[in-house]
Amino acid sequence: MAVTNSASAASAANSNSSASKSTELAQLTGVEAAKRAAAYAAVDNHVKPNHEIIGIGSGSTVPYVVERIAQQGATVNAKRWFIPTGFQSRELIITAGLRLGDVDSFPSIDVTIDGADEVDNALNCIKGGGACHLREKVLAEAANEFVVVADYRKNGSQLGTKWLQGVPIEVAPFAYAKVLQNLNKMGAEKPVLRMGKAKAGPVVTDNSNFCIDAPFPEAQMKDPSDLLKRIKLLTGVLEVGLFCNITKSAYFGNDDGTITIKTADGKVQEGVHFDVTKPPATA
């Protein structure tokens, strides 16, 4: 009788836990709910059981990516290595109990999922609002598939129409003044050295470099691939936050709870419903 009661209690506890989890998942609203829906859908569609090396990007949507991957279960995740783009994603991986790897050991990645500051209709992206774009691009290009997750505010038709802070550019500290001068000559509109918000002095990247934000006129932003090449040729520039012809799919969470999915072949799915309370297939 005691065994039956214990089993019943355990069953009830599990039921209550599941109900509590479902309630917790349903409670997010607005932009955060949109981010979570986009992240969960991207993980379910692109992080497959046979994937062993997974890149984890940076940004405010990425915690939901790691959360969903963890929900796939300990069995499948025990076979995987997770490669971070920076401090934030490294901490997320460790906190979730996932195996931490590095791109030195795993230069080929099955899939990388990352956020973005803006995405255009051709899936070109502006990234680097968090000053991690050098490492983010390494992981994006190392992946067989690069997937972007964001909320509806990042979904644009042309780069530079929603993200107005400019193109993030990682530069060697020694060269920043000359790079600023050259960006002005290229037509940048008041490029600036990014300053820290909680410290006196410039933002320092995970690679011990500086970051410049360079707004460009609409005419130059219409061809981000060309702009990327020209900026990259400047001496002292380490990497540019323009990600061109890399992204395979982009997921945007909308404020009505639906998802918009864009793919590199030009297809767009709008109004996609995704149940965040449903466990992933591998769980």
Write down how long the chain is: 283
Classify residue 93 by burial, with Cβ atoms within 10 Å: 0-12, 13-18, 19+.
buried
Residue 260 pLDDT > 90, yes or no? yes
Helix ranges (H only) for the chain are: 2-27, 30-46, 62-71, 74-77, 87-95, 133-142, 176-186, 218-221, 224-232
What 99-102 contacts at long range (C-beta under 8 Å, 24+ apart), as own/partner pairs, is: 101/53
Least confident piece of the model among 18-22, 246-250, 258-262: 18-22
The residue among 280, 177, 164, 170 whose CA lies nearest residue 217 is: 164
Beta strands in 71-205 (DSSP E): 81-84, 109-114, 118-119, 125-126, 143-151, 167-171, 192-193
Active site residue 136: yes
Confidence of residue 22 (pLDDT cuts 50, 70, 90): very low
| Whole-structure pTM value | 0.88
For residue 197, the one-letter residue type is K
Half-sphere exposure of 85 (CA within 13 A, CB side): 28
pLDDT of res. 224: 98
- Beta bridge partners, 253, equal 151, 259
- Beta bridge partners, 119, equal 125, 155
* Domains, the chain, with CATH or none: 2-157+241-272 (3.40.50.1360)
Token representation of residue 177: 């003044």
Residue 9 pLDDT > 90, yes or no? no
Residue 281 pLDDT > 90, yes or no? no
Residue 158 pLDDT > 90, yes or no? yes
Catalytic residue among 136, 145, 170, 239: 136
Q: In terms of DSSP bridges, do strands 125-126 and 242-243 run parallel, antiparallel, or are they unpaired?
A: antiparallel
Helices (H) and strands (E) counted in the chain, each on its own, are: 9, 14
Distance, in Å, from the CA atom of 162 to the CA atom of 153, rounded to the nearest integer, reads 7
What are the pLDDT digits (tens) for 165-219? Answer: 999 999 999 999 999 999 999 999 999 999 998 888 999 999 999 999 999 999 9
Residue 48 pLDDT > 60, yes or no? yes
